[in-house]
Chain A
Amino acid sequence: MTEQEIYADLSSKFGDKVIEFMEEGTLNPTVVVDAGAIAKIVTYLKDEERFQFDSLMNLAGHDADVETEFSVIYHLVSTELKHYITLKVFTSRDEPKVASIAEIHRTADWHEREAFDLYGINFEGHPDLKRILMEDDWEGYPLRKDYVPAEFYRGMRIEKVK
């Protein structure tokens, strides 16, 4: 099944929750969907006989610029039917929150924790949302474009003295 056909099916099923289809300027054709509806859409893609998206290859947070919103990108694959789809959601900088899909695809558990750790995106409904790479007492979200490193961490200097 092509991405175009999947997009057509999703938009007839979910209406305005499916926002747009991006083909130009992206590596993979991408369906942009609503951040609150992602869990429903992923469940639908997993359970539906003609899609069978049984595996989540990757889930990544993304911050393009200090002016724009955060995004989360999902790469799904059907190991049965050998087709792929890329989903993308946008969420605001001030209060970034996206529905968790950790209960649907177990892969998403740690990936969502990573996106939470580095971008501060809250995945609502995640079973155990806490930092995965940085220490628990770390302040700030390092991969945000507007992140400014602290001078010290637990008494250790972070920036080298010039």
Chain B
Amino acid sequence: MGALNHKFNENILITSLDKLLNWSRSGSEWYFQFGLACCAIEMMSAAAARHDLERFGAMPRSSPRQADVMIVAGTVTLKMATRVKRLYEQMAEPKYVISMGSCANSGGPYWQHGYHVLKGVDQIVPVDVYIPGCPPRPEALIEGLMHLQKKMREQPVLAKKED
């Protein structure tokens, strides 16, 4: 910002609006609170005191309207898949999806004989970050959220969307 930089000492920061919005967005990854299987236990652990997701501004929300990120934590059965899709559609833009664990990524242990399991949640919703593991440790989930933060920071929200 050239000429205006450091003109007002440390009291005023100058940045672009996109950067400001992305900074605040990436610093408040409110995730949609629902777990489908054992990955949810790791997600709860990540949110609890030891790993404390709120350090990164990530906190669970119980309504899709208030959530920015959907963490698909666990096995997506075909019965649940229709509900997952519906919940995703109820979230407000901009919205993101983290596929957590082998089940959500590819069906995991149900890959071969899982007559009732969707082989990868990316068949029904667009996935931004895949986290491998069965289940992934809380550290892995945190790294996934940090990758998503990076993605958010690089994404202009004010620019007109290309069709």
List residues of chain A with CB under 8 Å of any chain B CB: 133-135, 142, 147, 149, 153-154, 156-160
Contacts and interface: CB of A to CB of B under 8 A. Distances in A.
Contacts of A159: 119
Interface string B107-136: 100010001101110011000000000000
A133 B77 CA distance: 11
A142 B116 CA distance: 9
B78 interface: yes
Nearest to B110: A160
Given A158-B78, A158-B119, 6 more contacts: A142-B116, A147-B115, A156-B78, A157-B123, A160-B111, A160-B120
Given A160-B106, A160-B107, A160-B111, A153 B78 contact: yes
Contacts of B116: 134, 142
A-B pairs with lowest CB-CB distance, top 8: A160-B119, A149-B115, A153-B78, A142-B115, A135-B79, A156-B118, A156-B81, A156-B123
Contacts of A154: 78, 82
Q: How large is the interface on B (under 10, 10 to 19, 20 to 34, 35 or more residues)?
A: 10 to 19
A135 B78 contact: yes
A99 to B, nearest CB: 29
A161 to B, nearest CB: 9
Nearest to A149: B115
> Taking each of A147, A156, A157, which has the highest tally of chain B beta carbons within 10 Å of its own beta carbon?
A156
